[in-house]
């Protein structure tokens, strides 16, 4: 079943007015020329080009509409466009592409602008929004699995990007801390004793704890019955049961916080807003939906039937809002999250960073929220879905016993492997620096492998590839950054460089300049889609452009004024790499 595509209620986030943007300048100039030629508003379809710096492709589609020759249209547009201050040559190519070669003087002028701005030409948004980011969301008393790792990494990047742009970001960690398993878990806790349980959980042995409880639950009828009664007492608010539940959830939170600090993500204690925190809102949510006439009884359960969702037999698909036994489930809680975030937090953009298998769950929640009138333009809710992480065997990453792998162990392994690599590459580093660098590289490698993959795809967890110093990896980017820092150290120069007259001569300088000037366009381009692999891909080509420049163009040995100009190009590259990696949650060490 495929529900109809989500209505992206409301606006496309507009082009930033404050961004120093080559793309926007070309867009404006060519847009005006196309519009003059066509007699109607035309998007010139500017993009980066293989053959030139940029190209504009709109003549082709316009020709079909106007029934004219595309090359003629393109030629007319070229004559009408005011591009003298930006382009050295503008030519019509192939069936009607317009190829744009930028003038060195324009690159120099714009680089000067970007250089002088500590935000690299990207101004904060003029109208900040309240954006809720729901991410990580592990389940208490259970090991975090790799799906939670992806959500944590992607959500953290979203938080950093949107905050950097000036939005008011509210982090929400929707941990699973409620529901039937907690009856069984509390009973198990009582069986083994509180202090033993606290110990197991705090050392992160959540799998063993959960498994032991599960085994008893499946094998022992009496235990099963005790568990059932325990859930009832938990829900009724029995003080002892609540206290024990607190121990379970509290120890799990402590464990999750150690994973977050190991990962260097921004989530804190204050961001936990688990399922249980919505308990009081579930009844009112159901009442409200009932009053609106959105619920129907089906097999004894109270259900919503959101418009547009059908099962395989083409019958309306239910979203269960109250189970037959009167209990509420995952869906009801998420209806409460969306209502709360819109109504109480006043968010206008809601992001749910959760694996793709929950796509339909969220689309149904959003549709019910629209029908209830909670979710209305300009407010929009988006499922930021992601694929999973696979082991070398191409299956979901798991231990040999079939458990989800212990995340802390995975991350420790990445850091210790990074330490080995560093010990060989740079034996001169003192122990403390080496430990810091290994942390930055190991964790950076894991995050970058995730963020550089299209998030809707799966990828294989392969430490060798992630930690490689060549290819599209964090260490490659971090190395380019550290290399620039070392140029400065060698020359006894300090950074950031205060002011500079940048001159573009060699082709490698030119190419690096065009890359540097795309920073704002790339960042702006991912605000809606949150496709971080585009930012990653950009940083990789920036680092590659820098490496080529570094190999072909002497820096410290160059004559003035070229030397100063090249030092400034280095510094701008360093800043772009550090800022870009920072948006991905990755640290760029100064030496490695």
Q: List contacts with ligand ARG (CB under 6 A).
A: 134, 137, 139, 174, 176, 334, 337, 352, 354
Distance from C-alpha of 267 to C-alpha of 149, rounded to nearest angstrom: 13
Distance from C-alpha of 290 to C-alpha of 284, rounded to nearest angstrom: 10
Distance from C-alpha of 181 to C-alpha of 145, rounded to nearest angstrom: 17
* Cα angle for residues 540, 128, 451 (degrees, 5° grid): 25
Q: How far is the CB of 215 from ligand ARG (least distance, A)?
A: 22
Closest CA to 520 of 216, 71, 124, 250: 124
Q: Which residue has the tokens 């150690």?
A: 258
Q: Which is nearer to ligand ARG, 70 or 137 (CB)?
A: 137
Radius of gyration from C-alpha coordinates of the chain: 28
Q: Which is nearer to ligand ARG, 134 or 251 (CB)?
A: 134
Q: Which is nearer to ligand ARG, 357 or 496 (CB)?
A: 357
Distance from C-alpha of 182 to C-alpha of 242, rounded to nearest angstrom: 10
Q: Which is nearer to ligand ARG, 3 or 18 (CB)?
A: 3
Distance from C-alpha of 581 to C-alpha of 543, rounded to nearest angstrom: 12
Q: Treating both helix axes as pointing N-terminal to C-terminal, what angle do 532-552 and 431-451 enclose, rounded to 10 degrees?
A: 120
Q: Which residue's CB atom is positioned nearest to ligand ARG? A: 137
One-letter-per-residue 3-state SS of 378-401: CCEEEEEEECCEECCCCCECECCC
Closest CA to 513 of 531, 524, 500, 525: 500
Query: Which residues are bridge partners to 101 per DSSP?
Result: 89
Q: Which is nearer to ligand ARG, 46 or 169 (CB)?
A: 169
Q: Which is nearer to ligand ARG, 134 or 271 (CB)?
A: 134
Q: How far is the CB of 488 from ligand ARG (least distance, A)?
A: 44
Q: How far is the CB of 178 from ligand ARG (least distance, A)?
A: 10
Contacts of 53 (CB under 8 A, 6+ apart): 100, 101, 102, 514
Q: How far is the CB of 342 from ligand ARG (least distance, A)?
A: 14
Q: Which is nearer to ligand ARG, 27 or 143 (CB)?
A: 143
Closest CA to 516 of 214, 237, 111, 2: 111
Where b means 16+ CB within 10 Å and e means fewer, 157-169 reads bbbbbbbbbebeb
Q: Which is nearer to ligand ARG, 147 or 520 (CB)?
A: 147
Q: How far is the CB of 360 from ligand ARG (least distance, A)?
A: 13
Q: How far is the CB of 80 from ligand ARG (least distance, A)?
A: 52
Q: Which is nearer to ligand ARG, 97 or 272 (CB)?
A: 272
Q: Which is nearer to ligand ARG, 44 or 385 (CB)?
A: 385
Q: Which is nearer to ligand ARG, 137 or 318 (CB)?
A: 137
Spatial strand order of the sheet with 130-134 comes to 168-172, 130-134, 349-355, 380-386
Q: How far is the CB of 245 from ligand ARG (least distance, A)?
A: 17
The answer to whether the beta carbons of residues 567 and 493 sit under 8 Å apart is yes
Pairing of the two strands 168-172 and 54-56: unpaired
Q: How far is the CB of 270 from ligand ARG (least distance, A)?
A: 17
Q: How far is the CB of 335 from ligand ARG (least distance, A)?
A: 10
Distance from C-alpha of 187 to C-alpha of 189, rounded to nearest angstrom: 5
Q: How far apart are the first and last CA of the chain?
A: 51
* Cα angle for residues 129, 9, 375 (degrees, 5° grid): 75
Q: How far is the CB of 144 from ligand ARG (least distance, A)?
A: 9
Q: Which is nearer to ligand ARG, 87 or 259 (CB)?
A: 259
Q: How far is the CB of 312 from ligand ARG (least distance, A)?
A: 24
Q: How far is the CB of 357 from ligand ARG (least distance, A)?
A: 9
Contacts of 27 (CB under 8 A, 6+ apart): 43, 44, 46
């Amino acid at each position: 079943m495929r529900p109809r595509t989500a209505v992206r209620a409301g606006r496309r986030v507009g082009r930033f007015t404050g961004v120093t943007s080559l793309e926007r300048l070309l867009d404006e100039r060519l847009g005006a020329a196309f519009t003059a030629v066509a007699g109607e508003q035309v998007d010139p379809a500017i993009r980066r080009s293989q053959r030139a710096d940029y190209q504009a492709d709109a003549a082709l589609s316009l020709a079909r509409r106007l029934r004219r020759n595309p090359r003629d249209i393109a030629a007319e547009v070229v004559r009408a466009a005011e591009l003298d201050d930006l382009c050295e040559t503008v030519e019509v190519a192939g069936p009607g592409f317009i190829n744009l070669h930028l003038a060195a003087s324009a690159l120099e002028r714009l680089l000067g602008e970007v250089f002088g701005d500590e935000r690299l030409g990207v101004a904060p948004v003029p109208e900040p929004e309240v954006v809720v980011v729901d991410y990580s969301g592990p389940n208490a008393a259970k090991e975090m699995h790799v799906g939670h790792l992806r959500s944590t990494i992607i959500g953290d990047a979203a938080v950093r990007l949107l905050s950097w742009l000036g939005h008011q970001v509210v982090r929400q960690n929707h941990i699973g801390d409620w529901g039937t398993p907690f009856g069984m878990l509390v009973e198990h806790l009582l069986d083994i004793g509180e202090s033993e349980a606290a110990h197991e959980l705090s050392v992160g042995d959540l799998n063993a704890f959960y498994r032991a409880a599960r085994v008893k639950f499946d094998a022992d009828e009496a235990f099963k019955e005790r568990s059932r009664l325990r859930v009832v007492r938990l829900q009724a608010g029995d003080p002892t049961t609540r206290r024990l539940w607190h121990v379970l959830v509290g120890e799990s939170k402590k464990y999750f916080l150690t994973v977050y600090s190991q990962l260097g993500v921004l989530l804190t204690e204050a961001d936990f807003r688990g399922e249980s925190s919505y308990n009081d809102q579930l009844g009112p949510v159901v009442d409200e939906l009932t009053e609106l006439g959105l619920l129907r009884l089906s097999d004894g359960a109270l259900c919503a039937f959101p418009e547009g969702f059908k099962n395989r037999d083409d019958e309306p698909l239910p979203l269960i809002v109250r189970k037959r036994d009167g209990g509420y489930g995952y869906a009801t809680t998420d209806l409460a999250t969306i209502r709360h975030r819109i109504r109480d937090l006043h968010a206008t953009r809601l992001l749910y960073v959760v694996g793709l298998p929950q796509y339909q769950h969220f689309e149904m929640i959003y549709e019910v929220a629209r029908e209830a009138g909670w979710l209305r333009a300009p407010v929009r809710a988006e499922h930021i879905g992601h694929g999973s992480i696979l082991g070398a065997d191409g299956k979901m990453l798991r231990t040999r016993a079939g458990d989800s792998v212990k995340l802390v162990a995975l991350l420790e392994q990445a850091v210790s492997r990074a330490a080995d690599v560093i010990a060989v590459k740079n034996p001169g580093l003192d122990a403390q620096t080496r430990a810091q660098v290994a942390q930055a590289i190991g964790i950076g490698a894991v995050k970058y492998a995730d963020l550089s993959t299209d998030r809707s795809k799966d990828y294989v967890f392969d430490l060798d590839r992630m930690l490689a110093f060549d290819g599209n990896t964090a260490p490659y980017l971090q190395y380019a950054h550290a290399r620039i820092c070392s140029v400065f150290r060698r020359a006894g120069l300090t950074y950031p460089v205060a002011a500079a007259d940048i001159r573009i001569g060699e082709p490698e300088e030119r190419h690096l300049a065009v890359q540097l000037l795309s920073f704002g366009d790339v960042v702006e381009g991912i605000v809606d889609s949150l496709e971080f692999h585009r930012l990653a891909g950009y940083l990789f080509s920036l680092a590659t452009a820098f490496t080529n420049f570094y190999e072909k163009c002497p820096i410290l040995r160059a004559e003035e004024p070229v030397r100063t100009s090249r030092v400034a190009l280095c510094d701008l590259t360093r800043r772009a790499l550090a800022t870009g990696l920072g948006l991905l949650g990755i640290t760029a060490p100064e030496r490695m």
